[in-house]
């Protein structure tokens, strides 16, 4: 194997690994995905935007809606807009079998019952069908 082939092979493996680490899992809601991706860092609404681009490309108001709740970057979604519920907010292992789900609504991304909204300073439950966390719709 030549050095050029080794480099090309290594780069291909790294690309595949990056995709597998950052891909949206079946049944994973916006908040579950962003929470899991924060382990890789925060740089604006990068992860929320990636989720939207993959799952709901027509949800063009996502950044504006998150911003009105104080979520101007991925980490601020959890500092200002939603609070992870500690009992269920640990990144799950990938599901053993593919879970077939559909987008919960046409209005765009939703969240699961693992997070409580912080509207007007009072937490209120926010629900979705996040099958990756055992939720149901």
User: 132 versus 4: which is more confidently predicted?
Assistant: 4
Q: Distance between CA 124 and CA 119 in Å, rounded?
A: 7
Per the CB < 8 A criterion, the answer to whether 38 and 31 are in contact is no
Q: Distance between CA 137 and CA 125 in Å, rounded?
A: 14
For 70-127, write each residue's pLDDT tens digit: 999 999 998 898 877 765 555 555 444 433 333 344 445 555 555 555 544 433 334 3
* Confidence (pLDDT) at 65: 93
Angle (nearest 5°) at CA 16 between 114 and 77: 25
Average pLDDT over all residues of the chain:
73
* pLDDT above 60: residue 8: yes
**Three-state secondary structure string covering the chain:** CCHHHHHHHHHHHHHHHHHHHHCCCCCCCHHHHHHHHHHHCCCCCHHHHHHHHHHCCCCCCHHHHHHHCCCCCHHHHHHHHEEECCCCCCCCCCCCCCCCCCCCCCCCCCCCCCEEEEECCEEEECCCCCHHHCCCC
**Considering the entire predicted model, what is its pTM?**
0.64
């Amino acid at each position: 194997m030549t050095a050029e082939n080794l480099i090309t092979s290594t780069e291909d493996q790294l690309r595949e690994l990056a995709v597998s680490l950052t891909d949206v899992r079946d049944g994973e809601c916006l908040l579950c995905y962003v929470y899991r991706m924060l382990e890789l860092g925060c740089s604006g609404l990068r992860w929320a935007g990636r989720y939207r681009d993959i799952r709901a490309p027509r949800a063009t108001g996502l950044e504006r809606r998150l911003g009105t709740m104080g979520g101007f970057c991925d980490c601020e979604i959890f500092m200002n807009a939603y609070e992870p519920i500690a009992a269920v907010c640990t990144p799950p292992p990938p599901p053993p079998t593919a879970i077939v789900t559909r987008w919960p609504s046409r209005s765009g991304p939703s969240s699961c019952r693992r997070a409580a909204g912080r509207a007007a300073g009072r937490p209120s439950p926010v629900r979705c069908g996040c099958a990756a966390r055992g939720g149901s719709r």
